[in-house]
Amino acid sequence: MAQTQSSRGRTTLVHAAERLVAEKGLHGVRASEVVKAAGHRNNSAVAYHFGSWDNLLIAVWELHTAPTNAARAAFLAEARTRGPLDLPTMVRAYIDPLVGEIARNRPSYWARFSEQWLATVRLDFFDLDAESAAAQPHTESVLALHSLFTDLADALTQLPPGARTRRVALMSRFVIATLAAWEREDEPPQSLEDLRSELVSTAVALLQAP
């Protein structure tokens, strides 16, 4: 029973942190607000369950990136049975699992949470150097996304090497910002499936642009 209560305590904190960060930004939320929103009475609940605020944010990441990357891995494995991956297939491998995760959690705050994180990091956030890596959660799921983004960048042969990861980062920012805007709509102007299709075609065009 104690373990179950502890698990529930962690879960309520994770969901509260995700929602509040999505609404107020990474630097607009205090741990005490999360504790109150999660229904905890002990102000040290974040430290008790996660050890630190940063570890709580990593738990929010893992809540969504773990299933998203599992879906992405399955998609890529199936696609590779048909031959080498082309650019539209890799773009779908990025976007489809994101849309699926948003559809699975209604209301969803995941895109808005990701958008708030993107607002705090450099433009080319997937350039794998020490500076950009230090600003990102060091999780297996994030590293898996790095691998896909590296493959996407390698496919952009129309661009000079130094511009390729920046173009992929711009594409990702566009996708996340669009999904975040969809999440904010009480009555979204289009279905999530229609948006997915439009996102894929627009993202491919963005990557292929000279």
**CB neighbour list of residue 24: distance below 8 Å, 6 or more residues apart:** none
pLDDT average, residue stretch 49-62: 91
The per-residue pLDDT for range 99-153, each reduced to its tens digit, is 999 999 989 999 999 999 888 888 887 765 544 444 555 556 677 788 899 999 9
The confidence score (pLDDT) of residue 131 equals: 47
Q: State yes or no: pLDDT of 38 exceeds 80.
A: yes
* Position 150 in a domain: yes
* pLDDT (average), residues 21-29: 92
Residue 16: inside a domain: no
State how far the alpha carbon of 67 is from the alpha carbons of 84, 107, 108, in Å.
Answer: 24, 17, 15
pLDDT at position 122 is 82
pLDDT (0 to 100) of residue 133: 45
Q: Is residue 21 part of a domain?
A: no
Residue 104 is assigned to a structural domain of this protein: yes
Residue 24 lies in a domain: no
| Number of domains the chain is built from | 1
The answer on pLDDT for 1 being more than 70 is no
Write the pLDDT tens digit of every residue in 95-113. Answer: 999 999 999 998 999 999 9
**Residue 148 in domain:** yes
Considering only 104-113, 138-147, 155-164, 200-209, which range has the smallest mean pLDDT? 138-147
Do 115 and 176 meet the contact criterion of CB atoms below 8 Å apart?
Answer: yes
Q: What is the mean pLDDT of the chain?
A: 88
Is the residue at 25 inside a domain?
no
Please tell me the predicted confidence (pLDDT) of residue 137. 56
> Residue 130's pLDDT is what?
41
Enclosing domain of residue 100? 60-208
pLDDT at 168 over 50: yes
